[in-house]
Structure 1
Amino acid sequence: MEGKGLERHDDNAHATAMPKRARWGVVVAVIVVLALAAQGIWSRHSAHAALERDAAHAGQTSVEVVHPQKSDASLDLVLPGNVQAFLDTPIYARTNGYLRKWYADIGAHVKAGQLLAEIDTPEVDDQLRAARADLANAQANYALSRTTADRWTDMLKSNSVSKQETDEKVGDMLAKKATLDSSRFNVARLEKTQSFQKVFAPFDGIVTARNVDVGALIDAGSSGGPAKELFHVAQADRLRVYVSVPQAYAQQVQAQQTAYLTLTEAPAKHYPGKVARTAASVDPTQRTMLVEVDVDNRNGDLLPGAYAQVHFALGAGSAPFTLPGNAFLFRPDGVKVATVTPDNHVKLVAVSLGTDFGTRVAVASGLQGDERVILNPQDSIVNGAPVRVVPPKKDNAGGGAASGTAATANANADGASSGKAGQ
């Protein structure tokens, strides 16, 4: 009996332990399910939040910004220039004939008075000989008439001849004197014409063209035909550079102002010059003022007739700031710039423009200097639009970051006459 009691007690204990283990298993399973469910919900919420952040980030426009630049440094105005020799002269013949010989070819350095060519002029030689014969005849006639007039004047004192006859002899002498003077002038004229057989250089320079050869017919144009250029001589140790300065800058370019030239083939080399003179008036057709810049070219680096870019250093004027030309918005209600607020939203600011220097434009009013101005703003940009500021590209980084940097005006065909300031 005692043994049966013990078995029954063990069975009851075992039956009690089994439900406890089962309950703990269920609890653990529920906890695992809840943890998995919470993890799924949390991951989905995180993905949704990340998606919302990405959508908000994508909805912001990426912009590059620059700060207004102080315009206390001089600004560089670049305009196309026409390089010409200081003296540039075509050499024509003054007499007709045939070219006997030439002594200078293209590229030859000649001195003033140096013989360039000789012209054979047989007709002029014959005319000169005939004129000299006429001169000798006139001299003989005048000598005889003067002797006769003197004799009749002496005889008139003793009343051996009449006053009328004496006056006739004196008048004949005066007529012979006029004929003699005419013959002398004719001989002198033909001698000068004959001297044109030799063609001389008018100044020190370089022969840039030779258009005749030995035996060529030389026509000075006296026979009605077109005169032919024999040589072309240029003095290139000093150059004149003519520039058409737009009306917007005409008042800022003055005589004795310094300038320098650059060439396309050697952009790093500067050739100093000085403004020699200005037209002091604006061409009513082109709205430009003609300016002459003289450049020393004794080393021969510059060639007459070349194209060059002329740089003028202009003062910044009264405008305190400058911005790149691609930072402005031209709206019906005026010129504006798009700035970025501290919370990265767009704020449109109205500005007044000063002088247009090509790649940079002076801002007369509207800016404080600490604004972040958007480069290349979209035409559709509006106030309050969210934006994201990105680092500027290398080609834009120098557009307005460095203070005191000289801006370079575009050397376009119109000479940048009004640029963006006049749009």
Structure 2
Amino acid sequence: MRTTKILLGIVLITVLAVGVYYYWQWRMEPSPAAAAGATKRGPGGAGGPRATPVVAAAATQGDVDVIVNGLGTVTPLRTVTVRSRVDGELVRVLFEEGQVVRQGQLLAEIDPRAFQVQLQQAEGQLARDRALLENARLDFERYKTLFEQDSIAKQQVDTQASLVRQYEGALRMDASQVENARLQLAYSRISAPISGRLGLRLVDPGNIVRAGDTNGLVVITQLEPVAVVFTVPQDLLPAVMKRVQSGDQIPVEAWDREQRAKLAAGTLASADNQVDPQTGTVKLKAQFANDDRGLFPNQFVNVRMKLDTLRDAVIVPAAAVQRGSQGMFVYVVQSDNTVALRPVNLGPLDGQRQSIADGLHPGETIVTDGVDRLRPGAQVEVASARPEIKPPPGAAPGKAGGGRRRSKDGG
């Protein structure tokens, strides 16, 4: 009984497999009647296979930019926390939050009265010691005359000479005290150390601020120029460094998140000195003038770096390239309005313009829309043809081979 069930199961599986095989043969091959009609009436005639409508374009020849894409972060070249250099009461705040300031612009004032008193004391000490020095020098000259007349001992002359030198040293010390007092008084007026945009105010007037406070009064971020830090695969580093070492200016563009609008254009400034072993990438820094202040610190942007230009390349619309089990391919429209599957090797992708490194020649017509309904040798009817392939304004960049559809006959 058990053997009978096993044999019955094997028979059912065999019948099912044969049925599936013949079903797919019937779907993929034209019927004998249709084939006979095609032989008698010819392609496109009554009774022949129906032509599949497609959109096609001619492969062109031109220049393609080699674009490196990355995700970057806007980074200010300088960020400074404005702190007080002296202790005292904050009596005036002369800025608004978010204000754009210039280097040297007055931002706040500390109560200056204590520092003015210190300056007056230092100046008074300097004046007193200067008078003492002048008197000591006069006495020294008198003592030298008296010594020459043998009226006093030489020891008294030497003592007076030492006193003169003592007052000279005190005078220099007093002068430094005056300069220090003037410096402390100047520090009571807090100015912007750099040009940039102010953040939120961290201390209100009336508070006692100290030189050791780490929070400071406000943070200034430089916006013009500004940098964008992004990463690229380490495989591209030799090509990048070759351009950098030759002194070339490598163009870099910053785009918004959707890659629809270009935010700014700049140049590559520098490269990091090591590769991240976790990601296999290296950091690059680009600099942008940012005159319109369209880039904001810590903003995420898409980066497009023009590494090179490929001359006289074969170019097709990116939509024409398909991915199959054997690799990338296109459908080429032949003179008899049938299509042939053509394997291709891809070059750089610039927006919607895909360069072909091998497998296609300029002028050949390739299918750009309707490829999902095609198989090699299928009859097609070209609905429209686009002889020229131009990059659309603001086209978003992509990577070669990315986003390709898989054809059912692609290998």
Band the TM-score falls in, shorter-chain normalisation: 0.5 to 0.7
Cα gap change, 1:385/1:109 in structure 2, threshold over 3 Å: closer, same or farther? closer
Q: Who is 1:231 aligned against?
A: 218
Asked if structure 2 preserves the Cα contact closer than 8 Å seen for 1:99 and 1:217, the reply is yes
For residue 365 of structure 1, report the CA deviation from its aligned partner.
3.0
- SS of 1:139's partner is helix
Partner of 2:192: 201
Q: 1:194, CA displacement in angstroms?
A: 1.8
Q: Equivalent residue for 2:288?
A: 293
The answer on whether the counterparts of 1:75 and 1:408 sit within 8 Å (CA) in structure 2 is: no
Q: d(CA) in 2 for partners of 1:346 and 1:124?
A: 90
User: Would the alpha carbon gap of residues 401 and 152 (structure 1) be closer, same or farther in structure 2, given more than 3 Å must change?
Assistant: farther
Q: Deviations over 1:211-231 (max 9, x none)?
A: 11012231222xxxx433212
Within a 5 Å distance, the mapping from 1:8-407 to structure 2 comes to 49=33, 68-72=59-63, 80=71, 82-83=73-74, 89-110=80-101, 113-120=104-111, 124=115, 127-128=118-119, 130-202=121-193, 206-221=197-212, 226-234=213-221, 236=223, 238-242=224-228, 244=230, 246=232, 247=236, 250=240, 262-263=255-256, 267=260, 273-275=265-267, 278-279=269-270, 284-285=275-276, 286-297=281-292, 306-309=299-302, 316-318=309-311, 320-323=313-316, 324=318, 327=321, 329=323, 336-340=328-332, 342=334, 344=338, 346-351=340-345, 353-357=346-350, 360-369=353-362, 370=364, 372=366, 387=378, 402-405=388-391
Report the residue type matching 2:357 in the other structure: A
Give the counterpart letter for 2:134 in structure 1: A
State the Cα deviation string for residues 223-245 of structure 1 (Å, max 9, x = none).
Answer: xxx43321234565x44342537
* SS at 1:279 equivalent: strand
| 2:206 counterpart SS class | coil
Please tell me the residue identity of whatever aligns with 1:289.
Answer: L
- TM-score, normalised via structure 1 length: 0.61
Residues 48 and 68 of structure 1: is their aligned pair in 2 closer, same or farther, counting only changes over 3 Å? closer
Aligned to 2:18: none
Tell me the CA shift for residue 179 of structure 1: 1.7
Kindly indicate whether the alpha-carbon contact (under 8 Å) linking 2:64 and 2:313 is maintained by their aligned counterparts in 1: no
Corresponding residue pairs, total: 344
Q: Distance in 1 between matches of 2:137 and 2:324?
A: 95
2:396 to 381, 400, 408: 408
What are structure 1's unaligned runs of at least 5 residues?
1-46, 411-415
* Contact 2:64/2:310, CA 8 A, preserved across alignment: no
Q: Output the CA distance in 2 between the equivalents of 1:403 and 1:171.
A: 94
Is this contact kept in 1: 2:67–2:307, CA < 8 A?
yes
Assess, with a 3 A threshold, how the Cα gap between structure 1 residues 266 and 51 changes in structure 2: closer, same or farther: closer
What is the aligned-residue RMSD (CA, Å)? 4.9
**What secondary structure does 1:320 align onto?**
strand
Quote the residue 2:19 is aligned against: none
Deviation at 1:318, TM superposition (A): 3.4
Distance 1:51 1:361, change over 3 A: closer
* Contact 2:271 2:282 (C-alpha < 8 Å) held by counterparts: no
Q: Which amino acid aligns with 2:286?
A: V
Q: Deviations over 1:325-366 (max 9, x none)?
A: 88265878xx64244463746545353x43354655433333
Deviations 1:14-33 (A, max 9, x none): xxxxxxxxxxxxxxxxxxxx
Select the structure of larger CA radius of gyration: 1
Quick one: distance in 2 between partners of 1:94 and 1:266?
46
Q: Which amino acid aligns with 2:61?
A: K
TM-fit CA distance, 1:209: 2.9
- What letter matches 1:244 in structure 2? F
Cα distance per residue 1:161-215 (max 9 Å; x no partner):
3444423321221122112101210221122012111112346654333211012
Unaligned runs of 5+ in 2: 1-30, 38-47, 403-411
- Which deviates more, 156-165 or 309-318? 309-318
Q: Using a 3 Å threshold, how does the CA distance of structure 1 residues 357 and 159 change in structure 2: closer, same or farther?
A: farther
Show the counterpart of 1:42: none
Q: Is the 8 A contact 2:227 2:288 kept in 1?
A: yes
Label 1:144 to 1:282 Cα distance change in 2 as closer, same or farther (>3 A). Answer: closer
SS of 1:287 mapped into structure 2 = strand
Given that 1:255 and 1:278 are in contact with CA atoms closer than 8 Å, whether structure 2 keeps it comes out as no
> Shift of residue 156 of structure 1?
2.7
Deviation of residue 261 (structure 1)? 5.3
Distance in 1 separating the partners of 2:305 and 2:258? 20
Match of 2:25 in 1: none
Q: Which amino acid aligns with 2:139?
A: T
Asked whether the equivalents of residues 198 and 221 of structure 2 are also in contact (C-alpha less than 8 Å), the reply is yes
CA contact (8 A) 1:340 1:374 kept: no
Preserved contact between residue 65 and residue 310 of structure 2 (Cα < 8 Å):
no
Q: Which whole-Å CA distance do the structure 1 matches of 2:218 and 2:59 have between them?
A: 57
Q: Distance in 1 between matches of 2:251 and 2:291?
A: 13
Pick closer, same or farther for the CA change 1:186–1:51 going to 2, 3 Å: same
SS in 2 for 1:101: strand
Deviation digits for residues 351-391 of structure 1, max 9, x if unmatched? 3x43354655433333213153688989xx9xx95556587
Partner of 1:22: none
Contact (CA 8 Å) 1:77, 1:311: kept in 2 or not? yes
